[in-house]
Chains A and B, each alone.
Chain A
Amino acid sequence: MIHSVTFRKMKNRLMNFIMLACTLAVLVPLGLIFFHIVKMGLSSLSLDFFTHIPAPTGEAGGGMANGMFGSAIMIAGASLIGLPIGILGAIYLSEFGGTRVSNVIRFAADVLSGTPSIITGMVAYTLLVVPMKGFSGLAGSVALAMIMIPIVLRTTEEQLKMVPGSLREASLALGVPFWRTSLKVTLRSALSGVLTGILLAVARIAGETAPLLFTALGNQFWSKNVMQPMAALPLQIFSFAIAPYEDWHKLAWAGALVLVTVMFALSLTARYFGRTKQAR
């Protein structure tokens, strides 16, 4: 049976409408979250927010400078631990892979990236906080690194696999050892994609709260020692948001705005790197 042209066109229009509606359904929650956070956060955002630590209970003002500082330190620490492991592991999987070991590693990374982050926090608590007899920024970094590693590992591996074999051969045929070829040709060619993956991983851990609860713990004061409990922006948002004071809630909104803006910027930068790669 052959449908009439009008019927076919109607079906086409209907399906187009349904797909458009689905796209909007994805965008609406994001828009609502962003709009609401900007509305609530912008009014409480001031210079003090970026330069002051939280004011003592009952006093007005104060900021989250220590939280932002602590977050930056812990993210840097996590990157220091997680990036070498993730990237070198990815080189192993992509360049020396194909063995049973690499399949096990791949599977383990996938399971690890699906593990709830609070579990990661508990593992870091057991491994570091208990034996060191105290909460610390270092334990926070390790917990964040554990979240970062599988993301970096898998995205980097995918990028390395996309580098054509002919480039590796070109380098090897010039008498360049395999390890130099891996680093200077293969990894170099995949660099923009790898950077995208790294930025997305950083954006991901920047917003993590649960793994820091049992590790970095948080700190009301300036904490520059990574062996001591350390403040973090998501933790401060959490504790300020559940506090019974109105002006603390406002600070929490301001913190949320800063956090979302940072993540937004990171994602945009990541997209930019991804874009320039395609343009080449």
Chain B
Amino acid sequence: MNNKVQLDQVNIHFGKTHAVRDISMTFPENSVTAIIGPSGCGKSTLLRSMNRMHDLVPSARVTGKILVDNGDIYDRSVDPVAIRRRVGMVFQKPNPFPAMSIYDNVIAGYKLNGRLPREEADEIVESCLKRVALWDEVKDRLKSNAMMLSGGQQQRLCIARTIAVKPEVILMDEPASALDPISTLKIEELIEELKERYTIIIVTHNMQQAARVSDYTAFLYMGDLVECGETKKIFTTPEVKRTEDYITGRFG
């Protein structure tokens, strides 16, 4: 299998804080990789470096190489906007655009960047909402405000919005942590389906979730990559004692 994303000795600093230390690992194409670890271990920080969201934080400094399809996304010739179109992101709290309808939220990536012909828009909205299994729930009220939806529906809408711009990689930052168990289950089923087309990297607090949805798991602790490998192996026969302690709930 191809390695879609590759980290090579990545270090991330915020001012004097060294948040991510010397991490090298790979993310195979069309698979789900979970990044787990206790709060503050740097997992969200690492995730956000993969579509250059840290560019907005003046004190943040990313060193090392992050390769997407073997191209360094931090190369000086690379436009961060172009990277973010290839590497989409779903956030912890559902964040649909409050001033837009459900319909407009799905095609927001196009609308905010210019115009989109009507028929094409209709097609994108329908296919993306179907892919996130939201179509049947909202097809009669596409023009109503996105904030009318429940939290779980909003999060699926945000995923629809992300896949509408046809990314190759989807980063998910604890996408279900603000949702109830049933909505969580729906998101997890969705992740399972999405990996056929996309490479998914998911940060999660919830170890059962990591075990359920991911093919590969990376365990981070205090900014260090402790262990990574196939999820089955990490969860049954981890090599490092600390991984075992964390997974069995002895700390964290």
Binding site for B on A (CB under 8 A): 98, 164, 166-178, 180-181, 184-185, 188-189, 191, 280
Q: Are B112 and A170 neighbours in the complex by a CB distance under 8 Å?
A: no
Q: How far is the CA of A176 from the CA of B97 in the complex (A)?
A: 13
Q: How far is the CA of A169 from the CA of B44 in the complex (A)?
A: 14
Answer whether A173 and B56 are a contact pair too, CB < 8 Å, given A166-B93, A185-B97, A189-B98.
Answer: no
Q: Which of A167, A168, A174, A184 has its CB near the most chain B CB atoms (within 10 A)?
A: A174
Q: Are A189 and B108 neighbours in the complex by a CB distance under 8 Å?
A: no
Chain A residue nearest to B82 in the complex (CB): A175
Q: How far is the CA of A185 from the CA of B109 in the complex (A)?
A: 11
A residues less than 8 Å from B81 (CB atoms)? 175-177
Q: A169 is contacted by which of B53, B96, B108 (Cβ under 8 Å)?
A: B53
Chain B residue nearest to A189 in the complex (CB): B99
Chain B, range 89-141, C-beta contacts under 8 Å to A = 89, 91, 93, 95-99, 108-109, 112-113
Q: Are B98 and A173 neighbours in the complex by a CB distance under 8 Å?
A: no
24 contacts between A and B (CB under 8 A): A98-B58, A166-B91, A166-B95, A167-B97, A168-B56, A171-B97, A171-B108, A173-B53, A173-B88, A173-B162, A174-B84, A174-B85, A174-B108, A174-B112, A174-B161, A175-B81, A175-B82, A176-B109, A176-B113, A180-B112, A181-B112, A184-B112, A188-B99, A191-B99
| B42-57 Cβ-contact flags toward A at 8 Å (1 or 0) | 0000000001010010
Q: Are A172 and B56 neighbours in the complex by a CB distance under 8 Å?
A: yes
B residues less than 8 Å from A170 (CB atoms)? 91, 95-97, 158, 161
Q: How far is the CA of A17 from the CA of B129 in the complex (A)?
A: 59
Binding site for A on B (CB under 8 A): 51, 53, 56, 58, 81-82, 84-85, 88-89, 91, 93, 95-99, 108-109, 112-113, 147, 158, 161-162, 165
Q: How far is the CA of A98 from the CA of B57 in the complex (A)?
A: 11
A residues less than 8 Å from B96 (CB atoms)? 170
B117 CB, min distance to chain A CBs, angstroms: 19
A168 CB, min distance to chain B CBs, angstroms: 8
Chain A residue nearest to B145 in the complex (CB): A280
B residues less than 8 Å from A188 (CB atoms)? 99
B residues less than 8 Å from A181 (CB atoms)? 112
Q: How far is the CA of A98 from the CA of B109 in the complex (A)?
A: 28
A residues less than 8 Å from B51 (CB atoms)? 173
B98 CB, min distance to chain A CBs, angstroms: 7
Q: How far is the CA of A185 from the CA of B99 in the complex (A)?
A: 9
Chain B residue nearest to A184 in the complex (CB): B112
A194 CB, min distance to chain B CBs, angstroms: 13
Q: How far is the CA of A203 from the CA of B100 in the complex (A)?
A: 31
B residues less than 8 Å from A172 (CB atoms)? 53, 56, 84
Q: A174 is contacted by which of B53, B88, B99 (Cβ under 8 Å)?
A: B88
A residues less than 8 Å from B99 (CB atoms)? 188-189, 191
Chain A residue nearest to B108 in the complex (CB): A174
B134 CB, min distance to chain A CBs, angstroms: 17
Q: Are B113 and A180 neighbours in the complex by a CB distance under 8 Å?
A: yes
B58 CB, min distance to chain A CBs, angstroms: 7
Q: Which of B85, B88, B89, B95 has its CB near the most chain A CB atoms (within 10 A)?
A: B95
